Amino acid sequence: MHSILSRKIISYFLGAMLFLLLFAAQPGQQDHPGEKLQASLTENTEQQAAHGEIENGFSPSDFIFDHILDAYDWHILSYKDFHLSIPLPVIIYSGTKGLNVFMFNKFHHGHSDYKGFRYEIKGENRGKVVEIMEDGSSALPELDLSFTKNVLAILISIIIMLWVFLSVAKAYRHRPDQAPTGMQNLIEPIILFVRDDIAIPSIGKHKYERFMPYLLTVFFFIWFNNMIGLIPVFPGGANVTGNITVTMVLALFTFAITTINGNRNYWLHIFNMPGVPWWVKYPVPLMPVIEIIGMMTKPFVLMIRLFANMSAGHIIVLGFFSLIFIFGEINPALGYGVSVLSLAFTIFMTMLELLVALIQAYVFTLLSAIYFGMATEEHH
Amino acid sequence: MELVTPDIGTIFWMLLMFIILLVILKKFAWKPILNALSNREKTIEESLRSADRVRAKMEQLKADNEKILAEARVERDGMIKETRQYSEEILKKAREKAGEEAKRLIEMAREQIKNEKDSAMEEIIKQVAGLSVDIAEKILREKLKDEKQQKELIEKLLKDIKLN
């Protein structure tokens, strides 16, 4: 818990520092930061939007957000005019054009339209594939099920997880009742930790078994994706657990399992809380409303906590790298000088992130287990 | 606000892939792993318990052995003691018998010596008496060689008898 706190302090401090540097780098535009961002976005027509290189200078916010947001392709590296990226399938359904599946490189990074669709590089739908209407205006399609960068990253992490856990399971089947070897040594203590220190104390010895598959899956999913996100090069570096959609789905799983497994006692506490005066329940159902809001806030908090922690980690590291380019624009020598400092801080932050990756997986799993425990607790 | 806006496409793929992951891992990973772990824990617990039992048995065996050993030692000591007593007794008896025998022999020897001595004394007395008679005879013969002396002696003897 202490490390999360100190990490937040660091992130606030760095955020403040970053803003100061933004103004220092561009003394001509000392207006509102939001307007400045908008200004830089509108100017960003010809140049590569994906790499934060803007005509009138380096924009750290574009640089950072292009890395932590989802994308239709997976950018690997750029050198001068050469850009290496993996194009991913765009899967779009629209009422007028039906289902369309094609690779993202058909757009040539927004330089050309394809099949009546366009990749927006400016405006309110920036970074989205939009449908070009008959009157020339553009609108978001009805359904965009594109296989994006985050989806590919999830797929990669799932393949790694399947490989790891199926081979470990095989080892258990082939060598029963023997001491663990190899990867079992790595996985077994964590499985035992989830079972003995998360599931059993939170849910109880008699009911925990039902929830073990989900708790283990969610723990390792978050941990593996956090760790893969720390790897700076492909196939790592995607901000999967810092994506609000991913954390939302995970939180919804916890919510669904809690709600499905809620016993009589659980619902009784929500709709007719025992031990409180009757007038907080009838005629105005004050307690039930509070309890139902509480039901909702629990998964909401899970979603926000994981998303914010992991995104913050990525933002801080990218912020350090931005410093190199900000100073480099003032004077190349200054950029080189700052790069040493930036690297040192990045290494330090990555070490911290290694810890945070585990802590966040632990916190998510522990809170899920506590909610399951609350849902299945017997009246006593 | 793209950062905090959930995306329908990602929801779809995430749900699909996470459910597949959950199902596969549940069936092919967590179940065998958790079963294997609990089985192993049970085995270890049982092994430890049986090891405890064996240890207790061993202790008992050891205690029994020691008891038997102690008994054997006591028995041996007893036997040694008995044997010693017995041999001492035998020795004592033998000594007593030997003493008695020696006494008897000495007694016998003494008696024999006494008898021998007595008979020797008798012999000596006899011889001395013979010798004395011979000597007396010789002396008388010497004294009664002439008549004068014979008369003198007769007179003397008569005188003694008269006086009586």
Q: Where are the domains of chain A?
A: 2-23+149-376, 33-144
B150 found inside a domain: yes
- Name the interface residues of B facing A (CB cutoff 8 Å): 2-15, 17-18, 20-22, 24-26, 28-34, 36-37, 39-40, 43
pLDDT at residue A23 tops 70: no
* pLDDT at site A31: 39
DSSP state of A114: B
* pLDDT at site A42: 38
Chain B within 8 Å of A93 (Cβ-Cβ)?
no
* Chain-centre distance for alpha carbon A29: 32
* A106 within 8 A of A117, measured Cβ to Cβ: no
pLDDT at residue A223 tops 90: yes
Q: How far is A245 from chain B (nearest CA, A)?
A: 5
* pLDDT at site A380: 64
Q: List all residues 6 or more positions away from A355 whose beta carbon is below 8 Å from its beta carbon.
A: A3
Q: Report d(CA A272, CA A148) in Å as an integer.
A: 45
pLDDT at residue A122 tops 70: yes
B2 found inside a domain: no
Alpha helices in A26-59 (DSSP H): 33-43
* pLDDT at site A56: 61
Question: What does the mean pLDDT of chain A come to?
Answer: 83
Nearest CA in chain B to A148: B10
**Domain extent for B151:** 8-163
Amino acid at A285: P
**pLDDT band per the 50, 70, 90 thresholds, residue A34:** very low
Chain B residues touching A311 at Cβ < 8 A: 3
Overall domain count for chain B: 1
pLDDT at residue A209 tops 80: yes
Q: Report d(CA A266, CA A254) in Å as an integer.
A: 15
Q: Report d(CA A253, CA A78) in Å as an integer.
A: 38
How large is the average pLDDT for residues A98-127?
82
How large is the average pLDDT for residues A83-87?
87
What SS3 state is found at A99?
strand
How large is the average pLDDT for residues A189-212?
93
* pLDDT at site A161: 94
Q: Which residue has the tokens 């079992």?
A: A184
pLDDT at residue A30 tops 80: no
Q: Which pair of tokens denotes residue B73?
A: 């030692």
pLDDT tens digits for range B18-56: 999 999 999 999 999 999 999 888 999 999 999 999 999
| DSSP labels, B125-136 | HHHHHHHHHHHH
What SS3 state is found at A166?
helix
* pLDDT at site A6: 56
pLDDT at residue A293 tops 80: yes
pLDDT tens digits for range B70-121: 999 999 999 999 999 999 999 999 999 999 999 999 999 999 999 999 999 9
Chain B residues touching A214 at Cβ < 8 A: 22
B29·A165 Cβ contact <8 A:
yes
* A158 within 8 A of B25, measured Cβ to Cβ: no
Q: List all residues 6 or more positions away from A231 whose beta carbon is below 8 Å from its beta carbon.
A: A237
* pLDDT at site A151: 93
Q: Which pair of tokens denotes residue A129?
A: 């594939």
Amino acid at A245: T
Nearest CA in chain A to B34: A191
Q: Report d(CA A221, CA A310) in Å as an integer.
A: 14
Chain A residues touching B25 at Cβ < 8 A: 161-162, 165, 213, 216-217
pLDDT at residue B153 tops 90: no
Q: List all residues 6 or more positions away from A3 whose beta carbon is below 8 Å from its beta carbon.
A: A352, A355, A356, A359
At residue A226's C-alpha, the angle toward residues A222 and A231, to 5°, is: 150
How large is the average pLDDT for residues A191-218?
94
B3 found inside a domain: no
B106 found inside a domain: yes
**Which of A65, A158, A176 is nearest residue B17 as measured by Cβ atoms?**
A158
| Burial (0-12, 13-18, 19+ Cβ within 10 Å), A129 | buried
pLDDT at residue A213 tops 50: yes
pLDDT at residue A17 tops 60: no
**pLDDT band per the 50, 70, 90 thresholds, residue A43:** very low
* A54 within 8 A of A47, measured Cβ to Cβ: yes
Sheet holding A143-144, edge to edge: A98-103, A89-94, A143-144
A250·B40 Cβ contact <8 A:
no
Chain B within 8 Å of A173 (Cβ-Cβ)?
yes
Chain B within 8 Å of A183 (Cβ-Cβ)?
no
**pLDDT band per the 50, 70, 90 thresholds, residue B68:** very high
Amino acid at A2: H
User: Which of A6-20, A179-193, B26-40 bottoms out in mean pLDDT, i.e. has the lowest?
Assistant: A6-20
User: Which of A39-53, A69-83, B51-65, B103-117 bottoms out in mean pLDDT, i.e. has the lowest?
Assistant: A39-53
C-alpha R_g of chain B: 65
**Which of B8, B25, B40 is nearest residue A144 as measured by Cβ atoms?**
B8
A65·B36 Cβ contact <8 A:
no
B7·A172 Cβ contact <8 A:
no
Q: Report d(CA A53, CA A155) in Å as an integer.
A: 30
**Which of B12, B36, B40 is nearest residue A145 as measured by Cβ atoms?**
B12
* pLDDT at site B102: 93
pLDDT tens digits for range A151-180: 999 999 999 999 999 999 999 888 877 888
Phi/psi zone of residue A58: left (φ > 0), alpha (ψ -120 to 50 degrees), beta?
beta
pLDDT higher at A127 or A91: A91
Chain A residues touching B2 at Cβ < 8 A: 69, 127
> Of all residues in chain B, what percent are helix, strand and coil, respectively (each to 5)?
95, 0, 5
pLDDT higher at A111 or B11: B11
The size of the A-B interface in CB pairs under 8 A is 116
* A302 within 8 A of A368, measured Cβ to Cβ: yes
What SS3 state is found at A182?
coil
How crowded is the C-beta side of B8, counted as CA atoms within 13 Å? Answer: 10
* N residues, chain A: 380
Chain B residues touching A177 at Cβ < 8 A: 39-40, 43
Alpha helices in B26-146 (DSSP H): 31-143
What H or E segment, with its residue span, contains residue A369? helix A332-376
C-alpha R_g of chain A: 24
pLDDT at residue A53 tops 80: no
Whole-number percent of chain A with pLDDT over 70: 85
B5·A243 Cβ contact <8 A:
no
Interface TM-score (ipTM) > 0.90 = no
* pLDDT at site A16: 53
Chain B residues touching A64 at Cβ < 8 A: none
Chain B within 8 Å of A146 (Cβ-Cβ)?
yes
What H or E segment, with its residue span, contains residue A174? helix A149-174
pLDDT at residue A41 tops 70: no
User: Which of A42-51, A281-290, A316-325, B107-116 bottoms out in mean pLDDT, i.e. has the lowest?
Assistant: A42-51
B18·A250 Cβ contact <8 A:
yes
A244·B12 Cβ contact <8 A:
no
Chain B within 8 Å of A248 (Cβ-Cβ)?
yes
At residue B136's C-alpha, the angle toward residues B131 and B138, to 5°, is: 95
